[in-house]
Amino acid sequence: MAYLFTSESVSEGHPDKIADQISDALLDNFLAFDPDSKVACETLVTTGQVVLAGEVKSHTYLDVQQIARDVINRIGYTNGEYKFSGDSCGVISLIHEQSQEINQGVDRGAKEEQGAGDQGMMFGYATKETENYMPLALDISHKILQVLADLRREGKAISYLRPDAKAQVTIEYSDDNIPQRIDTIVVSTQHDEFGEDEVMLAKIKEDILSILIPRVKEQLPANIQLLFNDSITYHINPTGKFVIGGPHGDTGLTGRKIIVDTYGGKGAHGGGAFSGKDPSKVDRSAAYAARHAAKNLVAAGVADEILVQVSYAIGVVEPTSIFVDTYGTSKVALSDGAIAEKVAELFDMRPFAIEERLKLRNPIYLESAAYGHMGKEPKTVTKVFESPYNGRIEKEVELFTWEKLDALDQVKNAFNL
């Protein structure tokens, strides 16, 4: 029997995502001026206020208040009417030094003997249903909001948009897990007040259907465009007007959108958030490494769908376990347990090895803090960092290294593909 599956995404102006982006901007600045920084930064945003907290061990000093303001302004909170603006909000810093009791389990004389920064289990997932090996419902949800943000910044085709927004996509699958059609699309977008409620809502729905959705379709492959149909149920701002939003409408916290950040409910999640954490925290680095492994395995033809789990004990170098689930889609004559053994041989999951392989001790994280950490295109960019205490530096860095298909030959050789 056919079934439905749903994923959601949130915009860069959603309160939780504002918090994530501030935390990752702080992390990037610490790593830019001191690559050995140990950082765990948390952010809270609410009406007119930002609170920064967490633990840091670093040889650099930053103007954390200005970094937070710059992120808020870049997102688009520049208007006093929003009751939250980068130029006028209060920024309180409660950041303090990292506990030596945690640090002693991580830092070692030889870097390759670096212990895991925490216990826990992390998951990586990949599927063949999209070109970027991501779940389709989540991929479309991200694209809806990225295009909506583009329209907001252009300010031409739709001029009344504000930064806060959410999207959700429901897809019908066949018994053999093939997407058949899009069943439902939900879009809730913050907006200016520009008339009577019924007139506003009718205009917003018309613009979403006639301007936003066609632009989204244009960015999708032809086979995915075919899933759009005249019988899709659309819910556009279903609660009514959405003028009050952002941190004035809802408090935001770092790490509250872990499913949006990963696979939209497909696969699994170990519970650890990413943003604000340096790569010694395996919550982040091992989740990236597991995605890297899963993506290369699927792309190499080991299976159509793969979940990779890796787990750690705090301060211990080697993972405590590696697990693989191919959901019955394996193309090789091996059990999932045997595949997991080969994964352990192919991908060194020691914390320092992950950092080195994926070049994670670089300021590469702000770009991951909205619209998902997985599924984006790897690229090399030059980033500029300025500090009243450290001067100005430019760094060329690789973004989304965990998305590179750079292990295909090794995987194919190992599995005789």
Enumerate residues 6+ apart whose C-beta is below 8 A from 285.
279, 351, 354, 355, 358, 360
Q: Which residues fall in the annotated binding site for Mg(2+)? A: 16
Secondary element (H or E) of residue 46? strand 38-46
Q: Which two tokens stand for residue 69?
A: 């303001």
Q: C-alpha angle 273/278/281, rounded to 5°?
A: 60
Nearest partner of 20 among 283, 246, 254, 200, judged by Cα: 254
- Residue with the two structure tokens 């149909």: 229
Binding residues for K(+): 42
How far is 220 from 225, CA to CA, in rounded Å?
6
Tell me the binding residues for ATP: 14, 164-166, 241-242, 250, 256-257, 273, 277
Strands 233-236 and 179-191: parallel
Which DSSP letter does residue 410 get?
Answer: H
Instruction: Return the sign of the alpha-carbon dihedral for residues 11, 15, 18, 24.
Output: negative
Residue listed under structure tokens 């982040």: 284
Strand order in the sheet with 161-173: 3-10, 161-173, 179-191, 233-236
Exposed/middle/buried for residue 119 (C-beta within 10 Å: 0-12, 13-18, 19+): middle
How far apart CA 123 and CA 2 sit, in angstroms, is 27
Q: Binding site membership for L-methionine: which residues?
A: 55, 98, 250, 281
**DSSP H or E stretch at residue 53:** strand 49-57
Structure tokens at 54: 């967490």
Phi, psi values for residue 64, rounded to 5°: -65, -30
Provide the annotated binding site: 14, 16, 42, 55, 98, 164-166, 241-242, 250, 256-257, 273, 277, 281
